[in-house]
DNA sequence: CGTAATCTCTTCCTCAACGAAGAGACTTCC
DNA sequence: GGAAGTCTCTTCGTTGAGGAAGAGATTACG
C-alpha cells in the first residue's frame, strides 16, 4: 500500500463520513441519531436495551432517541412476542427522507459503477463486504 | 448494479459513517467537530469564514468550534499573510488522538488490501478517487 | 482622508440531549 | 405464590452547542 494510495484512502473515508453527516443534517438528524440508525441497519432489529448498550447511552436518553426516530418515520416499535416487557426496534425498509437525501449521491455512484467491468465490480463489492465487517465498532 | 450489490454498498456506507463517528467519540469530538475536520482534510486550509459557510454555522459557534479543535490539538490558527483581519485554520499533519483511535481499523484494512492483486488494488483506488469526488457535499 | 464594508471574536440567551433516579409492568426462580 | 430481578419509560436537573447582536480591528473605496 503506497503512501499515495494511503492518502487517497484516508481522504476517501473522510468523504464518506462527511457524506453521511451531511445527509443526516438535511433530515434533521443529530450525530447520535445517525449512529443508532446505522447500528440498526448493520446489526438488525434489537431491543432498546441492546441499542442503549451499543450507543453507550443510558436507558432514559435511549427511549427518547427511539421516540425521535419513530416520530420521523425511520423506525418502528413492535412488542416482543416472547417477553412482554421487551420492545423490538426495527428499521423501516425505506426511510423516505433519508433515501431522498441520498438519491443524488447514489446516482453519481451508480454512474461510476457502470464504468467498470463485471469482474472489477466483483472486486469492489468483495472489498465492501470485507471492509464492512472489519470497520464494525 | 444488482439489488444484492446495492445492499452491500449501502451497508458499507453505514459502516464507514459509524466508524467515523465512533472514532470521533473516542476522541471527545462531536458530530460537527468531525464534520469540520473532514472539510479541512478534503478542502485544505481555510479561514473561519469559509469554514462557517461550509458547516452552515454562524460565526460565533464557528469560533468556538475552532477553539475546541485547536485545544484538542487537531488544528492550528495562523494569521493570514495578505489580510491582517483574517486567520487561516490548518489541519495538523498527525492529530495523534485520532490516529490512535483509527489505528486498529487501519491495520485491518491493510490486511484486507494485502489479499488483493496489484491490478485489483488499482481498481479499488481508482474507485476511491472517483467516489471521493462524487460524494463531496 | 474618512466612511463603509469585511472579518474574527465576545457575550448573552435559548434549546435540545444527556445522566441519574425511580416508577410500573413483566418474568424468573425458589 | 411471593420475592428478586429485568426491562422500558418518565421526570427532573444539568450541560453544552448554536443563534443573535454587537464590539474591535483591518481593508477598500469614493
What's the complex ipTM? 0.87
Q: Is A124 on the interface with B (CB under 8 A)?
A: yes
Domain encompassing residue A104: 3-135
Q: What is the tens place of the pLDDT at every residue in A105-124?
A: 888 999 999 999 999 999 99
With beta carbons under 8 A apart, name residues in chain A contacting B93: none
Instruction: Report the distance from CA of residue B82 to the C1' of nucleotide C1 in Å, as an integer.
Output: 23
Burial class from Cβ neighbours inside 10 Å (0-12, 13-18, 19+) for residue B2 reads exposed
CA atoms within 13 A on the CB side of B48: 20
| Contact predicate A122/A98, CB 8 Å | no
| C1' (C21) to CA (A120) span, angstroms | 56
Segment holding A16, helix H or strand E: helix A3-26
Using a CB-CB cut-off of 8 Å, the residues of chain B touching A136 are 15, 18
Distances (CA, A) of A85 to A17, A49, A125: 36, 11, 40
Query: What are B90's strand-pairing partners?
Result: B76
Q: pLDDT tens track of chain B, all 137 residues?
A: 455 778 888 888 889 889 989 988 888 888 899 999 999 999 999 999 999 999 999 999 999 999 999 999 999 999 999 999 999 999 997 777 778 888 888 899 999 999 999 999 999 999 999 999 988 77
Residue A127 belongs to domain with CATH number: 1.10.10.10
- CA B62 – C1' C8 distance (Å)? 10
What residues of chain B, 72 to 91, have a C-beta less than 8 Å from chain A?
none
Q: How many domains does chain A have?
A: 1
C-alpha cell at A28: 434533521
Q: What are phi and psi of A12, to 5 degrees?
A: -65, -45
Length of chain A: 137
Residue A100, C-alpha cell as written in the block: 431522498
d(CA A121, CA A27): 31
Amino acid at each position: 500500500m503506497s503512501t499515495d494510495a494511503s492518502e487517497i484512502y484516508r481522504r476517501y473515508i473522510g468523504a464518506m463520513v462527511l457524506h453521511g453527516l451531511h445527509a443526516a443534517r438535511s433530515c434533521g438528524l443529530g450525530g447520535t441519531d445517525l449512529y443508532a440508525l446505522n447500528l440498526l441497519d448493520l446489526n438488525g432489529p434489537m431491543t432498546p436495551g441492546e441499542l442503549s448498550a451499543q450507543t453507550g447511552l443510558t436507558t432514559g436518553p435511549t427511549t427518547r432517541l427511539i421516540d425521535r426516530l419513530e416520530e420521523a418515520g425511520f423506525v418502528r416499535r413492535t412488542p416482543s412476542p416472547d417477553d412482554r416487557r421487551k420492545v423490538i426496534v426495527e428499521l423501516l425498509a425505506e426511510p423516505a427522507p433519508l433515501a431522498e437525501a441520498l438519491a443524488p449521491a447514489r446516482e453519481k455512484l451508480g454512474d461510476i459503477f457502470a464504468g467498470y467491468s463485471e469482474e472489477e465490480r466483483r472486486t469492489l463489492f468483495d472489498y465492501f463486504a470485507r471492509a464492512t465487517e472489519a470497520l464494525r465498532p
